[in-house]
Chain A
């Protein structure tokens, strides 16, 4: 039981990241539990979240959650969503600064900014290149190989950095594998993926054998990717080079 409690504690710490906003939340909750005079507000904004927080740390809750949900161990942190931490912090802050609104708001804003982490500085946030919010190179490459109206769909294999986005742009492009192959949380096997992502360099013969087996008409490779052998000698045709990506077509695959 102690081990499970510690797991919950680790989940709680991971949820909070640097921990400052989490500390602010705990302090706000304690403040409201003691200082809130209106009972109904105290019940909803302080006591109910406090009960949920206690419940979160009780090992039985985690045991039940993991038993009920398929991916319960990975999603246990979502119980904390039931506690509206932002509302609790903001309400406690407002109660504190009520009589000195101007300076109080400035101080609160500074504390929140210093304790938190600006979402726009996240490593996964970038300037959008188009309205789709996917890399323009994906759009350009997909436009080059996409079937015309009335033509049948084509299967193509892409480098891992493009895999997430291809079918978000055009579902007429089929792929031999998708995001599930390149994400570390799953460890499935796919022959084309093995050859495409082979460490060091791509073995041209092995790759073409695998893509023909999977009926891939197009192979897209980054210009920087080292290839052992020659894809053209294996029967492929280099149809275009777009945004640093080589587009090969396999005439043997219809």
Chain B
């Protein structure tokens, strides 16, 4: 069940996002990330109203509504994928077996395919769309990187990382799973309390509880053991996308970059404050996700915007969903996320001289504005 909810459903939902991506970005990785962003956004839209409006067994209703939403999105995603696969099948009826599977994958994720000789000679194909085969040395570097990540995942699974804040966040998830409440029981002692607004809007704890509920796994196991196995690779997926843009014409440097990044992550525990410490020791906490997933993703999306000179409007849709996820992680997330976006938008405006980036950036921060407005209304009432 946990594989269904953490891998299969996000990928199916990601097909919806995939359909609006430019051809070169229709990769398995970006589809997966897009699927998660869409699922997180929908979860926030369901969880916060349930938490505010429903007095008893709020989490039960939240789970119910979210399952319905997930089913609808998954069916829609599968329909998109099937439609694309049928087109691929019809256009190439001679291929069979493994080759058929390969051509279907190519139809679903064309961004993962290497460029053909014609593409390389075609002056109309953008450099950013060209993808070459890795050299043997490059493949070895990828293998080294994969080994480092596997080691990190093994350590995340077999090592316990003590953090005092877990007594709050992890217990909030467990309370939702065991008592169907959404932030209305004091986690430390168990007494009933009013909604703790400061933490309650960061519903990532409720999403973890949802995964625990639907998979039948204890929320503490989901937090400490399952989430790192999901989020550490997802964070590296974002870094890989950053590397794809930074090393557009020197593809073999991408795995080298990733090896260095993975070592910095592992040896970045120079203090309790670094984002690397949060990534490895508190992966399941919202602030760790802001520092290591949301903020690097903003960097990636702006690199994309700068590279395409703000032509790909789909990036703003990603930023819109990312803003929703930032609020879901931590109230701090929206301030830092929006602050970084404001600075990069200003620089983008100067760089591209396209004024349209300003209204588009404003639209993409609407979730943060609504989030803050609801937060203040609930706090004052």
Give the B-binding residues of A (Cβ under 8 A).
Answer: 14-22, 39-41, 43-45, 47-48, 51-52, 68-70, 75, 77-82, 84-87, 89-91, 93-94, 97-98, 101-102, 105, 108-109, 112-113, 115-122, 124-129, 131-134, 153, 155, 163-165, 167-180, 183
Return the contact of B188 from the options A16, A119, A167 (Cβ within 8 A). A167
State the majority secondary structure of interface residues on B: helix
Which residues does chain A contribute within 8 Å of B276, judged by CB atoms?
A: 86, 119
Closest 4 CB pairs of A and B: A178-B188, A116-B267, A17-B270, A40-B306
Return the contact of B263 from the options A80, A112, A165 (Cβ within 8 A). A112
Which residues does chain A contribute within 8 Å of B335, judged by CB atoms?
A: 68
| Structural contact, A171 and B171, CB atoms closer than 8 A | yes
| Structural contact, B264 and A89, CB atoms closer than 8 A | yes
Which residues does chain B contribute within 8 Å of A174, judged by CB atoms?
A: 189-191
Return the contact of B159 from the options A41, A120, A153 (Cβ within 8 A). A120
| Structural contact, A168 and B266, CB atoms closer than 8 A | no
The reply to whether the CB of B112 lies closer than 8 angstroms to some CB of chain A is no
Interface residues of B in 158-198 (CB under 8 A from A): 158-164, 166-168, 170-171, 174-175, 178-179, 185-191, 198
| Structural contact, B188 and A179, CB atoms closer than 8 A | yes
The reply to whether the CB of B40 lies closer than 8 angstroms to some CB of chain A is no
24 interchain pairs, CB-CB under 8 A: A14-B271, A16-B270, A40-B306, A48-B347, A78-B273, A78-B332, A79-B336, A80-B273, A86-B261, A87-B261, A89-B260, A90-B257, A90-B264, A109-B259, A112-B267, A116-B269, A124-B162, A131-B221, A132-B221, A164-B162, A164-B167, A167-B174, A171-B190, A183-B164
Which residues does chain B contribute within 8 Å of A21, judged by CB atoms?
A: 264, 267-268, 270
Return the contact of B296 from the options A84, A108, A121, A179 (Cβ within 8 A). A84
Given contacts A51-B343, A81-B336, A175-B190, contact A18 B351 (CB under 8 A): no
Minimum CB–CB distance for A47 against chain B, Å:
7
Minimum CB–CB distance for A40 against chain B, Å:
4
| Structural contact, B299 and A134, CB atoms closer than 8 A | no
Complex alpha-carbon distance, A105 and B141, angstroms? 10
Given contacts A15-B274, A112-B260, contact A175 B266 (CB under 8 A): no
Complex alpha-carbon distance, A113 and B190, angstroms? 44
Minimum CB–CB distance for A107 against chain B, Å:
11
| Structural contact, A163 and B275, CB atoms closer than 8 A | no
The reply to whether the CB of B71 lies closer than 8 angstroms to some CB of chain A is no
Minimum CB–CB distance for B29 against chain A, Å:
17
Which residues does chain B contribute within 8 Å of A84, judged by CB atoms?
A: 295-296, 299
| Structural contact, B137 and A169, CB atoms closer than 8 A | no
Return the contact of A118 from the options B187, B189, B266, B302 (Cβ within 8 A). B266
Which residues does chain B contribute within 8 Å of A94, judged by CB atoms?
A: 246-247, 253, 256-257, 260
| Structural contact, B167 and A15, CB atoms closer than 8 A | no
Which residues does chain B contribute within 8 Å of A120, judged by CB atoms?
A: 155, 159, 266
Minimum CB–CB distance for A188 against chain B, Å:
11
Most chain A CB within a 10 A radius of its CB, from B175, B189, B242, B265 = B189
Given contacts A86-B276, A171-B175, A175-B190, contact A126 B160 (CB under 8 A): yes
Chain B: which residue is nearest A115 at the CB level? B267
Interface residues of B in 244-298 (CB under 8 A from A): 245-247, 250, 252-253, 256-257, 259-261, 263-271, 273-277, 280-281, 287, 290-291, 295-296
Which residues does chain A contribute within 8 Å of B268, judged by CB atoms?
A: 21, 86, 116-117, 119
Which residues does chain B contribute within 8 Å of A173, judged by CB atoms?
A: 190
The reply to whether the CB of B339 lies closer than 8 angstroms to some CB of chain A is yes
Which residues does chain B contribute within 8 Å of A78, judged by CB atoms?
A: 273, 287, 291, 332, 336
Minimum CB–CB distance for B226 against chain A, Å:
9
Complex alpha-carbon distance, A119 and B155, angstroms? 10
| Structural contact, B267 and A17, CB atoms closer than 8 A | no
Most chain A CB within a 10 A radius of its CB, from B191, B239, B274, B290 = B274
Return the contact of A168 from the options B159, B174, B264, B332 (Cβ within 8 A). B174
The reply to whether the CB of B340 lies closer than 8 angstroms to some CB of chain A is yes
| Structural contact, A82 and B336, CB atoms closer than 8 A | yes
Chain B: which residue is nearest A177 at the CB level? B189
Minimum CB–CB distance for A63 against chain B, Å:
16
Complex alpha-carbon distance, A172 and B167, angstroms? 15
The reply to whether the CB of B100 lies closer than 8 angstroms to some CB of chain A is no
Chain B 297-341, CB-CB to A under 8 Å as 1, else 0, gives 001001100110000000000000000000000001001100110
Return the contact of A97 from the options B242, B247, B256, B295 (Cβ within 8 A). B256
| Structural contact, A122 and B275, CB atoms closer than 8 A | no
Minimum CB–CB distance for A222 against chain B, Å:
18
| Structural contact, A44 and B260, CB atoms closer than 8 A | no
| Structural contact, A119 and B351, CB atoms closer than 8 A | no
Given contacts A93-B260, A118-B266, A168-B174, contact A77 B246 (CB under 8 A): no
Complex alpha-carbon distance, A101 and B295, angstroms? 29
| Structural contact, B267 and A43, CB atoms closer than 8 A | no
Most chain B CB within a 10 A radius of its CB, from A17, A47, A68, A70 = A17
Chain B: which residue is nearest A122 at the CB level? B269
Complex alpha-carbon distance, A164 and B224, angstroms? 14
The reply to whether the CB of B218 lies closer than 8 angstroms to some CB of chain A is yes
Complex alpha-carbon distance, A91 and B246, angstroms? 8
| Structural contact, A75 and B271, CB atoms closer than 8 A | no
| Structural contact, B161 and A39, CB atoms closer than 8 A | no
Which residues does chain A contribute within 8 Å of B269, judged by CB atoms?
A: 116-119, 121-122
